[in-house]
Each structure stands twice: as C-alpha cells, then as structure tokens.
C-alpha cells in the first residue's frame, strides 16, 4: 500500500528564513522518539506500570522508597531504547546539523537515539539512562552490576544518570542550552509538550532575542499559539519534507 505522504505547505518566508539561518537550535522531547516505538511521558503507561505516573517514578523520593522498582522501570526503558532504531525525524535533525553554519541540538530525552542517529552537536539536558551512578557513594563505574542495580564497589544501589523531578539540571548542560537559545536566529521545538521546566522556557529566551520559533508537534501545546510557525503532525514525516524543501537533502533522507 502506498505510504501516505504528509502534505505540508511550508510558507516561502519559512524556507527563506531557514536558507539564511546562521545559528539553529533544536529542542526535542519524547515525541521525537515516538516513531521509534518508545512511549512518551504523556502516553498512558502500560501493564505493571499503568498504576504509576512517570513524574511519580522519576524522583529521588520514589527511588529511596523503592530503589528496585525504580531501577526496574529504567531497565525496561533501557532495553526498549537499545532495541529501538532512530527514525526519520532523528535522521533529519542529524542532517540539519550538517547544513546549518552553526547548530546545537538540546534534547530532554534520555534514550540515546539522537547520538545513534549521528547527531554530534548535542546537549542531553536530562542525562542518559544508559549511564548509571552509585547512589550512595558516587563510586567509579568500573564495578557496576547493571542487571541488579548494585554497585559492587560499596554494595550500594545504582541509579540512572538522569535528572529527576526536583533535581537541578547539570550546570554545564543548562548553561550551554541557555547561551545557544540567546544567540540563535532560528529555534525549533520538536516533539515536546513544553511543560517541563527549565527546558520549557528556552523558546522564550530565543524569542525575546528575536529568534524565529518553529514548533513541530503531534498535538497542540502551550507554545503552539505563540510560535512563529507551528506544524501539527509527526516529526518523522514533517522534518524530511522540510529538509528537502530547504536544503534539497534528498539522498540522505530516503529511509
Ligand atoms: C529543576 C529525565 C530546580 C528522567 C525528566 C517552574 C514552574 C513549574 C515547575 C517547575 C519549575 N521549575 C522546576 C519545576 C519542577 C519540575 C517541572 O517542570 N515540573 C513540571 C511537571 C511542571 N522541573 C524539575 O523538577 C526540573 N528540575 O528545575 O530543578 C527546581 C526544582 C523544583 C522546583 C523549582 C526548581 C527537572 C526536570 C527534569 C525531569 N526529568 N526526564 C526520565 O526520563 O525518567 S523530564 C521528562 O519529562 C522528559 O525528559 C521530558 O522533559 C518530560 C516530558 O516531556 P516531553 O519530552 O515533552 O514528553 P511528553 O510526553 O510530555 O510530550 C511528548 C509530546 O510529543 C506530546 O506533546 C506529543 O503530542 C508529541 N508527539 C508524540 N508523538 C509525536 C509527537 N510529536 C511529533 N511527532 C510525533 N511522532
């Protein structure tokens, strides 16, 4: 059956803006990995996890209360991420990095798919669930039992190297993200509900300094009415079309 082509009419002003863009910043959220089969935070959790909300599991308090439960949740997500493949949206963003004079991808995702799709100018604002930390003593990672979530240096619990709700973001990552937002002339918000802070305020930093703000998201968000351009739909369908119209990036994007 012929694949349903997404028909998107990109205004000439947007094509021109991207052609002339010198500094492009892209912020992504869980929605960019949805077409790789990874559930987003807004998706109702399934099975055993259906009675938990991510916000309730992704906290220090939840981990202290039940480290095995939280470690199991991340182990399942890690296995899903390793089985998943980057999708056309990830690949288009990695291609955009090569086309823009200056570029930075800031992701809220911890699944590691952007790096696997070739993105190099990348800030993982909320860490990476494929890395672990010794929760009790911050021991070095040479003796970690990832299966059971145990640090074999001290016998303590391992935690994933991600930023939980209520935790500060890594100062270096947040600093780089803020600086890039201040300096860019085009700011993309892709696959995020724009509800988690401080990531959700980066677009305002960019907009206040005159950047053009472009949203690509399946559903409306608080950003939708405020963005200069907003495209409601799947990133894996819209981004390749945009790349072709702006940069004629045919060969790299055929998947
Ligand atoms: C902090 C890692 C200092 C762990 C995550 C100011 C105001 C209000 C609250 C706060 C504030 N400042 C701080 C807070 C508290 C909190 C917060 O923002 N709470 C929210 C709920 C209101 N923030 C923090 O705690 C941050 N720390 O600021 O420290 C502090 C602390 C306390 C109080 C003040 C200051 C730490 C936040 C980081 C938490 N860690 N992840 C893990 O992954 O397990 S957050 C996690 O959830 C994700 O990383 C992501 O950031 C967020 C989920 O958001 P999305 O990625 O947008 O995903 P979501 O499912 O929501 O949306 C997906 C979208 O994709 C949807 O819109 C959908 O339509 C779209 N979509 C789906 N498919 C597609 C698609 N789009 C395109 N194509 C598709 N195919």
Question: Are residue 152 and residue 190 in the same domain, yes or no?
Answer: no
Helix (H/G/I), strand (E/B), else coil: 9? coil
Express the helix, strand and coil content of the chain in percent, nearest 5 each: 40, 20, 40
Q: Is 61 in the pocket of ligand 1 (CB under 6 A)?
A: no
Residues of the chain falling short of pLDDT 70: 1-7, 48, 249-255
Question: Are residue 173 and residue 241 in the same domain, yes or no?
Answer: yes
DSSP state of 117: T
- Ligand 1 centroid to 217 CA: how many Å? 15
Among 111, 144, 162, identify where a domain stops.
162
Ligand 1 atom 56, closest CA? 29
Question: Are residue 158 and residue 244 in the same domain, yes or no?
Answer: no
The residue whose CB lies within 8 Å of the most ligand 1 atoms, and thus the one to mutate among 191, 234, 240, 242, is: 191
The residue whose CB lies within 8 Å of the most ligand 1 atoms, and thus the one to mutate among 4, 29, 173, 240, is: 29
126 is catalytic: yes
User: Which CATH number covers residue 149?
Assistant: 3.30.1600.10
The pLDDT of residue 236: 98
> What end-to-end distance do the CA atoms of the chain give, in Å?
16
Question: Are residue 46 and residue 156 in the same domain, yes or no?
Answer: yes
The pLDDT of residue 4: 52
Question: Are residue 155 and residue 174 in the same domain, yes or no?
Answer: no
The pLDDT of residue 254: 47
Question: Are residue 46 and residue 99 in the same domain, yes or no?
Answer: no
Count: domains in the chain: 2
> Which range of residues forms the domain containing residue 52?
39-83+131-162
The pLDDT of residue 243: 96
Q: Kindly write down the DSSP assignment for every residue of 165-213, as one continuous string.
A: TTSPPPHHHHHHHHHHHHH-SEEEEES--S-STTGGGHHHHHHHTT-EE
The pLDDT of residue 255: 43
The pLDDT of residue 6: 58
């Amino acid at each position: 059956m012929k694949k349903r082509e997404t028909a998107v009419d990109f205004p000439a002003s947007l094509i021109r803006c991207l052609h002339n863009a010198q500094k492009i910043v892209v912020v992504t959220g869980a929605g960019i990995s949805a077409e790789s089969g990874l559930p987003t935070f807004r998706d109702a959790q399934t099975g055993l996890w259906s009675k938990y909300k991510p916000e309730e599991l992704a906290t220090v308090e939840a981990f202290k209360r039940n480290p095995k439960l939280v470690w199991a949740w991340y182990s399942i997500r890690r296995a899903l991420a390793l089985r998943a493949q980057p999708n056309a949206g990830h690949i288009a963003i990695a291609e955009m990095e090569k086309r823009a004079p200056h570029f930075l991808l800031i992701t809220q995702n911890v699944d590691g798919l952007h790096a696997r799709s070739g993105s190099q100018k990348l800030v993982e604002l909320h860490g990476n669930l494929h890395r672990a930390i010794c929760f009790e003593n911050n021991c070095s990672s040479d003796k970690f039992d990832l299966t059971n979530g145990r640090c074999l240096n001290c016998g303590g619990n391992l935690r994933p190297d991600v930023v939980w709700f209520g935790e500060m973001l890594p100062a270096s990552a947040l600093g780089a993200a803020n600086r890039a937002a201040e300096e860019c002339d085009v700011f993309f918000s892709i696959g995020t509900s724009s509800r988690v802070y401080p990531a959700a305020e980066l677009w305002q930093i960019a907009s206040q300094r005159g950047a053009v703000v472009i949203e690509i998201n399946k559903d409306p968000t608080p950003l939708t009415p405020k963005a200069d351009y907003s495209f409601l739909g799947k990133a894996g369908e819209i981004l390749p079309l945009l790349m072709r119209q702006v940069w004629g990036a045919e060969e790299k994007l055929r998947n």
